[in-house]
Amino acid sequence: MNMASVGILLLFFIVIRAQTEGKSFVKVECKTGNVGQYGQQSMLDCVVTTAEEVKDPKILTVTWKKKGSEDNLLFFHRGETKVQPGYRFAESSWNDKNMNISLLITNTTMVNNGDYTCLVMTDSGDDEETVTSLGVTAKYNKPTIRSIPVNITGREDVTLICSSVGGYPEGKLRWFDEHNTEWPASSKMEAELTNDGLFKLSSKLSLLKNSIFSKYTCVVFNSSRGKEDEVTLEIPDTAASEGQGGEKGSDQISKIVAPVVVIGSLIVGLLLALLIHRRRSQRHHREVPTCELDAEQGGHVETYKERGDGTV
Ligand SMILES: *[C@@H]1O[C@H](CO)[C@@H](O)[C@H](O)[C@H]1NC(C)=O
Ligand SMILES: *[C@@H]1O[C@H](CO)[C@@H](O)[C@H](O)[C@H]1NC(C)=O
């Protein structure tokens, strides 16, 4: 070995040492607050950044894991990528020169909610494990209302039950009447976690038979109080009251009786008026006969004549 080759070897050594100790040369930076929608794609957005001195970096390994699990979701090594179903690089034609190592989750479910770790090694050095998280939300479905009893007659008290499924995190149900006035639920709203990790909300509203409005709306709000959906139940006219507490039965009777009374008294009144008029005109005939004669018509004149004959 001559001096020159020793020199070259030494130089190699220095370069390699610089590379292996060059942790600060390479860094994985992830977007904070990655969010995912249930049933849709979501991404853990991360890039590898290198110091300016590093020219043309090449990625040797990428390891994506869910915290709490030993299984790799994605593992790139020696030019080969192994993934679990439903996971892949976000960059569609990713290669080891591409510093965007974002992980794409093709169909997000509640299982994907949580923390992830990412480990990257490059030919210019490695970074420590980086942690990033995904917050999964799910939109509540349109609520449904059922009533107990099923048929609302207005003759008995009713309980309305509203429910909405498929949401995350826990939301709220609220009741409104036709005037948009809020009604307090008659018991605490129930939030139940279903097998798919989503919430089922249900809320009860009790109605008294004499104060049932014509419409009830149940609105579902998400965890940040945003309105998500609603459903309206229309109460049949025959069952809805005016909110006065009036009794339907006697109402019905007075509806029939009232016109009878009015028409009856009208007839009686008319008959009376006719009778009085007749009496009056008869008296008038007697008192001012000449006047009446000029003004009145044949029939009356005749009456007058009869009477006139008798009295005069
Ligand atoms: C990484 O790639 C994905 C998919 O192309 C893109 O949506 C994302 O914005 C990229 N991230 C960065 C930090 O460039
Ligand atoms: C709640 O709903 C609002 C309005 O629809 C929406 O902007 C917001 O992102 C939702 N929040 C969650 C946690 O779903």
Phi/psi for 305 (5° steps) reads: -60, -45
pLDDT tens profile 34-84: 999 999 999 999 999 998 888 889 999 999 999 999 999 999 999 999 999
Q: Say whether both 130 and 71 belong to one domain.
A: yes
Ligand 2 midpoint to CA 172 (Å)? 13
Statement to judge: residues 178 and 156 lie in one domain: yes
What percent of the chain has a predicted confidence (pLDDT) above 70?
74
Closest CA relative to residue 165, chosen from 192, 140, 144: 140
Query: Would you say the CB of residue 41 lies under 6 angstroms from ligand 1?
Result: no
Instruction: Answer yes or no: do 32 and 125 share one domain.
Output: yes
Q: Which ligand number lies closest to the CA of residue 47?
A: 1
Ligand 1 centre distance from Cα of residue 44 (Å): 9
pLDDT at 230 over 60: yes
Q: Identify the nearest ligand to the CA of 135 by its number.
A: 2
Domain containing 240 equals 144-245
Average pLDDT over residues 293-303: 42
Ligand nearest to the CA of 41: 1
| DSSP-assigned beta bridge partners for residue 123 | none
- 98, part of any domain: yes
- Measuring CA to CA, how many Å separate 153 from each of 209, 211, 235? 8, 12, 9
pTM reported for the whole predicted model = 0.67
> What's the 226 CA to ligand 2 centre distance in angstroms?
5
* 119 and 49 housed in the same domain: yes
Boundary (domain end) residue, out of 190, 225, 245: 245
130 and 148, same domain (yes or no): no
Residues 102 and 154 both lie in one domain: no
Res 274 pLDDT > 90 = no
The domain boundary residue, chosen from 245, 265, 300: 245
Q: Which of 216, 245, 274 is the last residue of a domain?
A: 245
Separation of CA 89 and ligand 1 centre (Å): 10
Q: What is the count of structural domains for the chain?
A: 2
Residues 127 and 57 in one domain: yes
Tens digits of residue pLDDT in 17-41:
555 454 468 999 999 989 999 999 9
**Same domain for 75 and 128?**
yes
292 Cβ closer than 6 Å to some ligand 1 atom = no
Atom of ligand 1 nearest to the CA of 46: 13
The CATH number for 153's domain is 2.60.40.10
